[in-house]
Amino acid sequence: MAVNVKFHHIGITVSNLERTLEFFENAFGIVTGMALRVKSGNDTAEALGLPEHEQRVALLAAGDVIFELIEFHPARRESYDGRQDDVGYAYPCFAVEDIDAAYDEWTRLGYKINARPQVTESGPVAGSKFMVLKDPDGKNIEIVETGKYLVAENIRAGEATASLDNPVIIGKH
């Protein structure tokens, strides 16, 4: 029997907590709701599958989702080199009402964005647009302006179903 769950938070390891908090506040208007300093004992380290360590943690709420930004001491690596096509790579996605205005604002602020917003012209996610904004450590944050069917209630209802055998074309080819 499956266990009933609901989404609570996403944890993101960062190299510099203050720099990332400034980014989240300036880019998204999201501020720290709670901050913690954690010193793991043996039991906590074992539960996480890590050696004993210290964490500096900030919790930020975006809608009903909590972001747990974590700076580890000692860090296993000082820089991040993962890509979205690496197995296990995870990223958050924020929905915006006007992705073109968001693109203009974030490029004005000097944030790295891989490309202008891409649009899906047809198929089950027609009318949706997306782009990828880089966080201060170079990790992807997807930004989406949703079309009619790319919202949770319509996906749960099975509206505009698609098949893995019939690819959706996003952007110009």
pLDDT of 107-133, one tens digit each?
Answer: 999 999 999 999 888 777 778 899 999
User: Domain 7-77 belongs to what topology?
Assistant: 2,3-Dihydroxybiphenyl 1,2-Dioxygenase; domain 1 (3.10.180)
* Domain ranges, ordered by start, for the chain: 7-77, 90-173
- Decide if 7-77 and 90-173 have a common fold: yes
pTM above 0.95, yes or no: no
Flag whether pLDDT at 19 surpasses 60: yes
Query: 171 falls in which pLDDT band (50, 70, 90)?
Result: low
How would residue 80 be classed by pLDDT, with cut points 50, 70 and 90?
confident
Reply yes or no on whether the pLDDT at 170 is more than 70: no
pLDDT at 77: 76
In terms of phi and psi (left: phi > 0; alpha: psi -120 to 50; beta: otherwise), the region of 85 is: alpha
For position 43, what pLDDT does the model report?
86
**What is the pLDDT averaged over residues 59-81?**
87
Which of 147, 137, 131, 149 minimizes the C-alpha distance to 93?
A: 131
pLDDT recorded at residue 31: 94
pLDDT category at 68 given cuts 50, 70, 90 is very high
Mean pLDDT score, 14-38: 94
Look at domain 90-173 and name its CATH class. alpha beta
